[in-house]
Amino acid sequence: SGRPTLTRRGNPLLHEQRQFLDSLPKDVQENGLFSSQIDAEQRAEVWGDQAEIGEELVNKYAWATPDERATRIIRHFSPIVEIGCGRNGYWSKLLKESGVDVIAYDQSPSGGGQITSKPSSGKRSKAIKSSNFVRKGGPKILAKESIRNSGRSLFLCYPDESFDDEDKQTSLGASCLEYFEGDHIIHVGELYGDTLSLEQAPWGRSSSALFQQRLSSEFHCILKVRLQNYLHVRDTLSVWKRSKRCTMVFEGDDDSSDEELDYRDIPLDELLPVDLAAPCAMHLLHPVDDSANAPKKHKSSSNTDQYTKKKKRKN
């Protein structure tokens, strides 16, 4: 196709994260960090190692890890505008290098998307030079005529990574929905029901409840794929298409007014499959072939059967 691909040099986050994951003990790789088969001491050691390298990679690159499939999907829905890209603008830079038309904004181009170590830890994340690629701007940029009429899909990667629903903060993701008028939103991070963290359940660590509730009511998901993750994270890339609305009007009688009910008009070829199963239950999705389990009939070699066959041949 002639399009650039993500090389080791072009996507260092993917390879540095993979290098760490491949270095983990086999039992952790095979069973997961939170398995009962992992003892507490080993779990604590791995958690500490991951926290250290994870903070470094987030501050150098991004919260979530792109791969070749992710960039291919995003390219299909280009041109792109990213809001809240962080100081590094890692995803957008990789997209641009692979030939995607993308512009990236952050409200704090010099410090957005960074993890700040606690003073008591005695450690500081490496200072990373701010990217000239990142433009200053937030959700209101989406209302500009040059963006609104550009046909760009909205890309959000961890829009609310530091958001706390109880602190009455403004959700960046929800604010974007106030201004975005386009047809497609691409979200990277954890979504409802995906997270392993009981503290962050059910919405996950990437975007606020308000954003996800509005996203799932005004848009419908047409694609969702897994990304390479840290041990405690379940990030995905999902694509959402704006739903058309069908309004049904029920005429009222003399004592009541008309009643309107709104439904989403989602074409059948835009519906995600409903039948899903974990590997341990996959066999339940398929009909049981009783004939395969039925006892096989064996030919008898008794003298009586042989005599009967000979007698029939004579007749």
User: Considering the chain, what percentage of its residues have pLDDT values greater than 70?
Assistant: 82
Higher-confidence residue: 15 or 5?
15
Give the mean pLDDT of the chain.
Answer: 88
The pLDDT score that the predictor gives to residue 1 is 47
268: exposed, middle or buried (C-beta count within 10 Å: 0-12, 13-18, 19+)? exposed
79: preceding bond cis by omega (within 30 degrees)? yes
What is the largest distance, in Å, between two alpha-carbon atoms of the chain? 103
Give residue 161's pLDDT.
Answer: 84
pLDDT of 309 above 70: no
DSSP assignment, residue 259?
E
Cα separation of 37 and 101, whole Å?
47
Report, as an integer, the average pLDDT of 296-300. Answer: 59
Q: 108 φ, ψ to 5°?
A: -130, 80
Which has more confidence, 12 or 286? 12
Mean predicted confidence (pLDDT) in 57-82:
98
User: Mean pLDDT throughout 74-97?
Assistant: 97
Q: Hey, how many other C-beta atoms are within 10 angstroms of the C-beta on 183?
A: 14
Give the pLDDT confidence score for residue 125 in this predicted structure.
Answer: 47
- The residue whose two tokens read 């409840």 is 209
pLDDT confidence of residue 17: 98
pLDDT higher than threshold 90 for residue 60: yes
Dihedral pair phi/psi, residue 279, rounded to 5°: -50, -35
**pLDDT category, 132, cuts 50, 70, 90?**
confident
Calculate mean pLDDT across residues 32-53: 97
**β-bridge mates for residue 219, sequence order:** 242
Flag the least confident range among 123-127, 164-168, 206-210, 272-276. 123-127
163 DSSP assignment: -
Q: Are 134 and 59 in contact (CB under 8 A)?
A: no
Residues 248, 260: contact at Cβ < 8 Å? yes
The letter for the amino acid at 48 is G
Give residue 287's pLDDT.
85
The predicted pLDDT at position 177 comes to: 98
Domain boundaries, the chain: 12-247
90-104, 264-278, 290-304: range with lowest mean pLDDT = 290-304
The rounded distance, in Å, linking the Cα atoms of 137 and 125 is: 25
pLDDT of 32 > 60? The answer is yes
Tokens 């250290």, residue?
A: 52
User: Which of 57, 56, 131, 125 is CA-nearest to residue 87?
Assistant: 131
pLDDT band at 178 (very low <50, low <70, confident <90, very high): very high
pLDDT, average across residues 143-149: 95
Contacts 24+ apart (CB under 8 A), 305-310: none
pLDDT at 276 over 60: yes
CATH pick for 12-247 out of 3.40.30, 3.30.70, 1.20.120, 3.40.50: 3.40.50
pLDDT at 266 over 80: yes
Classify residue 6 by its DSSP letter. Answer: -
Q: Which residue has the tokens 């041949």?
A: 313
pLDDT bucket at 307, cuts 50 / 70 / 90 = very low
At 115 the pLDDT is 80
**Residue 29, pLDDT above cutoff 80:** yes
**117 three-state secondary structure:** coil
Identify the three-state secondary structure at position 229. coil
Say how far apart CA 154 and CA 94 lie, in whole Å. Answer: 16
Task: Name the pTM for this structure.
Answer: 0.84
Question: Residue 167 — pLDDT band, cuts 50, 70, 90?
Answer: low
How long is the chain?
A: 315
- pLDDT: is 169 or 53 the higher one? 53
